[in-house]
Chains A and B, each alone.
Chain A
Amino acid sequence: MSFTIRAMAKAACAAVTVAVAALSPGAASAQTAPKLDIPIVYITRAEDARLSLSFVDPDVKEPGVWGARLALKDNQTTGRFLGHSYSLIEVVVPEDGDVTAAFEKEIAAGHRFFIADLAHDDLLAIAQADGASDTLIFNGRAGETDLRTETCFPQVFHTALSLAMRADGLMQFLVWKRWPDIFLLSGSGPGDPAYAEAMRKAARKFGAEIVADETYSYSPIARRTDSGHIQVQTQMPVATQGAGDDYDVLVVADENDTFGEYLPFNTYAPRPVAGTQGLVPMAWHRVQEQWGSTQIQHRFEKQAGRWMEERDYGAWLGVRAIGEAVTRTNSADPAKIRAYLRSDDFALGGFKGVGLSFRPWNQQMRQPVLLTNKRILVSVSPQPGFLHQRNRLDSLGYDKPETSCDLQ
């Protein structure tokens, strides 16, 4: 079961109509080009928002879809000069709904371009659905390793950061800082073992060393507890005492935000904290205002009434990648779009100072990794000195020889 919101972005459509009329003399080049309609389906699943431990973290409403909506407007603005019109169909699968059925229904309606704001299993399900091979699916959310190293699909492109790119981005910085000795502390929640494993692999790759590797089971308590800090102030030193002080940085793997936020300034040894909390490797964050991002941050906030989050950025990149390929190829044929996205000609401006492109072997988008705390942009990886024969961005994540994926 799914319900579908046919969001044709009414305001934007009205703007397009006016613009086409006003700009008809300007359509000289567009008149010879075919008129194209490009419907894009944004598909997500309803779920309870995860509460952050910190009260200053904004309460994020509708993560993901606002990125697609903004990119739709960007595509429409460009498209009106070329006779290309874009629309967004928003599909929200209920918490217990069937994502495959919802996806197949959209295929039956003739839609071929999909932005998946889905977790790993849902993404796998739609990638394996009937008719999926005729579509293009842009994963703006799931970072799991198997989707980049074993289970690759010709129709799936990843605009979300892979876990490996995140870990490599952080590890390069720690090695550049000459802080190579790492105390890895992982939680016991879902996702924590995979995050920790990505950190171990990154440490091996860049010559850092995991000098202590521990698991910490923390029973989540209500984040509002009177005098809660008194307990935390003694719990965290105890949790981190075993590693002594013979390390440079504590890297925490707490994907569910149950204890990681408590660690900075509460560790047994006076050491900085990085990983899922502290200094965090991210695809996008509000603190980033370099490379013209002031503009997209501002446009996003004006439209969505909140900050742009990672899932918004992942969806924005997917819709923009489609738009860029349609603009350059003058085609809405998924096969032609796919070929262009995989070619050396494709480069997308993503407000990170370099053109973003897709790795042909697993169709992961190459992109810099931001290293941020809650207040400021600390650094951006790749770090100076980490080179690569092909593209410096390929020093982050799975390189061609490291994966069994060899998409053609």
Chain B
Amino acid sequence: MPDLSMSHASRFKRALPAAASIAALLAIASPAGAQTVFVSNEKGNSITVIDAKTRQVTATIPVGERPRGIALSPDGKTLYICASDEDHIEVLDTESLEVTGTLPSGPDPELMTIAPDGSRLYAANEDDNLVTVIDLATGDAVAEVQVGVEPEGMAVSPDGKTIVNTSETTNMAHFIDADSFEIVANVLVDQRPRFAQFTDDGSEVWVSAEIGGTVSVIDVATKEIKKKISFSVPGLQPEAIQPVGIRITKDRSKAFVALGPANRVAVVNAQTFEVEKYLLVGQRVWQLAFTPDESELYATNGVSNDVSVIDVAKLKTVVSIPVGSFPWGVAIKP
């Protein structure tokens, strides 16, 4: 059960007078720094909008079938949504909360990432073993890169020069040069790599392996695995531990890893790679996102239809917020 601390309970009470009907208006009218959380609901075919200050759901936006991976443009104005069963990416205006267009993605898009300068979108196209590069100014696919079987995880280095894709059946992290679109290295990791995340200094890429149960920390300079992190929760069978989403603090002090059906988020010391704590969240936790000040971490719990909010300083789950059916992806706008 989430620990509902006093301070949060009182905030919750203060927020109550803001009735649901006007809450939607507040979200639109709210000033910068409001911290708006977007959650994709895979089965609900919707995006839930949460005000991170009040922790109230302010809007639910119907979108295309089976929304999974979501990503914000660097300026926060646009949310890109993989509508998996529509075989395209939807473009949502985060001010008007309206879907304004679609982008090509190939069949069954699942995860994507946006270049740091906002110029391109990189999407994994699982059906054809391709990474598709989309020019966001024109909305056209400008390049395709042949990768391993079932490409899924997508990450881009902070300098924008390197793209990393993980292939779930080939079990590799493919490093792709963002200028030439050539693969420069392939790193074999454990079974079913789902997600890749660069450290903020660009020196490491962390890759989770869902079936392997590990996170591989890859040294970007040498393309060698410098550490393979394993997880163990007393009373849980090892196969229940299935790492998916990863977030690392900017100062590289801590990393958080969502462990799927283990219903926990692991806290890892990102310097020593020791697992320090397991935080109990909802059922089948998959994706994670920090608030912009990194004070809080949101985690999507697919089976329990809610998101858990983790206090990053106290390393405690402080509240859970009911969202739509089978929450999958999460992105937070400053």
Interface residues of chain A, those whose CB is within 8 Å of chain B, are 19, 22-23, 25-26, 28-30, 74, 77-78, 81-82, 292, 294-295, 298-299, 302, 320, 324, 327-328, 347-349, 354-355, 387, 391-392
Contact assessment for A392 and B146 in the assembled complex, using a CB-CB cutoff below 8 Å: no
A188: min CB distance to chain B, Å: 41
User: Smallest distance from the beta carbon of A78 to chain B beta carbons, Å?
Assistant: 4
Contact between chains at B183 and A77 (CB < 8 Å): no
Residue of B nearest to A28 (CB): B185
Q: B192 contacts A23, CB within 8 Å?
A: no
Contacts A26-B182, A392-B239 given; indicate if A74 touches B172 (C-beta within 8 A).
no
Query: Could you say which residues of chain B place their CB within 8 Å of the CB of A387?
Result: 237
CA gap between A81 and B147 in the complex, in Å: 9
Q: Beta-carbon contacts of B179-191 to A below 8 Å, as 1s and 0s?
A: 0001111111011
Given A298-B127, A348-B191, A355-B212, A23 contacting B182 (CB threshold 8 A) = yes
Interface size class, chain B = 20 to 34
Q: A28 — which chain B residues lie within 8 A by C-beta?
A: 184-185, 223
> In the complex, A82→B172 CA distance in Å?
11
Q: Is B148 touching A77 in the complex (CB atoms < 8 A)?
A: yes
- Judge whether B168 is part of the interface by a CB distance below 8 angstroms: yes
Residue of B nearest to A320 (CB): B169
Q: Which residues of chain B are near A78, meaning CB under 8 Å?
A: 148-149, 167, 169-172
Q: Which residues of A lie under 8 Å from residue B129 when comparing CB positions? A: 77
- Taken residue by residue from 183 to 212, chain B's Cβ proximity to chain A (1 for < 8 Å, 0 otherwise) reads as 111111011100000000000000000011
B211–A349 contact, CB under 8 A? yes
Closest partner residue, chain A, to B176 (CB atom): A26
Known: A78-B172, A81-B172. A299 touches B184 (CB 8 A): no
Residues of A within 8 A of B185 (CB): 26, 28-29
Chain B residues near A349: list those with CB within 8 A.
Answer: 168-169, 171, 191-192, 211
Contact (Cβ within 8 A) B127 A81: no
Q: Give chain A residues whose Cβ lies under 8 Å from the Cβ of B107.
A: 298
Chain A residue at minimum C-beta to C-beta distance from B129: A77
Task: Tell me, yes or no, whether B126 is within 8 Å of chain A by CB.
Answer: yes
- Give CA–CA (A30, B172) in the complex, Å: 13
Q: Does B90 contact A (CB under 8 A)?
A: no
- Digit string of B91-108 for contact with A (CB within 8 Å is 1, else 0)? 000000000000000011
Report yes or no: B184 in contact with A25, Cβ–Cβ below 8 A: yes
A299–B106 Cα gap in the complex (Å)? 13
A347: B residues at CB distance < 8 A: 190-191, 211-212
Task: Tell me, yes or no, whether B150 is within 8 Å of chain A by CB.
Answer: yes
Selected contact of A299 from candidates B127, B182, B190, B237, CB within 8 Å: B127
Chain A CB within 10 A, most for which of B126, B150, B169, B192: B169
Contact check, B146 vs A19: say whether CB atoms are below 8 A apart.
yes
CA A347 to CA B187, docked complex, whole Å: 18
Q: In the bound complex, what is the Cα–Cα distance between A78 and B185 (angstroms)? A: 13
Closest to A356 in B: B211
Assembly CA distance A65 to B170 (angstroms): 21
Structural contact, B108 and A294, CB atoms closer than 8 A: yes
A134 to B237 Cα, complex, angstroms:
37
A30 to B239 CA separation, bound complex (whole angstroms): 31
- Give the contacting residue for B184; candidates A26, A324, A348; CB below 8 A: A26
B190: nearest residue on chain A (CB-CB)? A347
Given contacts A23-B182, A77-B149, A294-B108, 18 further A-B contacts (CB under 8 A): A19-B146, A23-B146, A28-B184, A29-B187, A78-B149, A81-B170, A292-B150, A292-B192, A295-B126, A298-B107, A324-B171, A327-B171, A347-B211, A349-B169, A349-B192, A354-B239, A355-B211, A355-B239
Q: Which residues of A contact B183 (CB under 8 A)?
A: 23, 25-26, 81
Residues of B within 8 A of A295 (CB): 108, 126-127, 150
Cα of A232 to Cα of B213 in the assembled complex, Å: 52
Given A81-B148, A295-B150, A26 and B186 contact (CB-CB distance below 8 Å): yes
CA distance A16 to B63 in the complex (A): 39
B174 proximity list for chain A (CB < 8 A) = 26, 81
Provide 30 A-B residue pairs closer than 8 Å at the C-beta atoms, listed in order of the A residue.
Answer: A22-B182, A23-B146, A25-B182, A25-B183, A25-B184, A26-B174, A26-B185, A28-B184, A77-B129, A77-B170, A78-B167, A78-B169, A78-B170, A81-B148, A295-B108, A298-B107, A298-B108, A298-B127, A327-B188, A328-B188, A347-B212, A348-B191, A349-B169, A349-B191, A354-B239, A355-B211, A355-B212, A355-B213, A391-B239, A392-B237
